[in-house]
Amino acid sequence: MADRPVIGLCAAVERARWGAWDTPAHLLPREYADAVQRAGGIALLLPPDPRAIEQPDELLDLLDGLILAGGSDVDPAAYGAEPHPETLGVNPERDAFELALATRAVHRDLPFLGICRGMQVLNVARGGTLLQHLPESHGHEDHRRTSGSFDGNDHLVRLDATSLAARAAGEESHRTLSHHHQGVDAVGEGLVVTGHSVLDDLPEAIELPDRRFVLGVQWHPEVDETSRLIAALVDEARERAADEGQPAGAA
């Protein structure tokens, strides 16, 4: 279908087991692709690609929009910090790939949504830093009450009334499902914090006001079928393709 925008989904590199196999794999929870497809988009899985670190346009030319997904902690070396003992599972290969895509996607004004880790990658790509362990800095574990599950991990986020985040969510008080132990510290260049947790005012939405759709959210809209965020990204990707005079999917 000519109106199905192609949305790139960056995949993690993790060890996985299936059948008789136990081997490194490129993984992404299927909820991300399901949400893109429900919204009328084509989901294209993007494994880390060393060549794309230097030439990200080769991949971005294929896309109408980009989603950076959740996953393991960003390597503190990417923002000039020493690792905290609770910073785990870092993968510099994935970090370099996603930082390159995020930087170039913003430059090209490609519709972009960063989810959880993806929001943190966006912040680091713009020169920002991260808090490496919220239970230490904020004194509680309410952003990840149950490890490995979203059950009981919900809370409200206040979204600025005129923000892209509020327009995409369709409301200013938004119930979110979270699962993270890190967060934004120093905010990256040009980014504006437009959402705060009601728990502790932690930044939970950041955006670039001078771009048509560059948004990072600290929660997981892909696991909430009532969320409008991923659909908003797909709609924006479709509109951008139309504005540029080409059918969606022909980026």
Q: Report, as residue numbers or ranges, the catalytic residues.
A: 116, 220, 222
Give the residue from 155, 196, 145, 201 showing the smallest Cα distance to 175.
Answer: 155
Alpha helices in 109-182 (DSSP H): 117-125, 134-138, 164-169
What is residue 84's DSSP assignment?
A: P
Strand order in the sheet with 214-217: 42-46, 6-10, 65-68, 112-115, 214-217, 203-207, 192-197, 154-159, 173-177
Structure tokens at 125: 């790509």
For 110-145, give one letter per residue: b (16+ CB within 10 A) or e. bbbbbbbbbbbbbbbbbebbbbbbbeeebeeebbbb
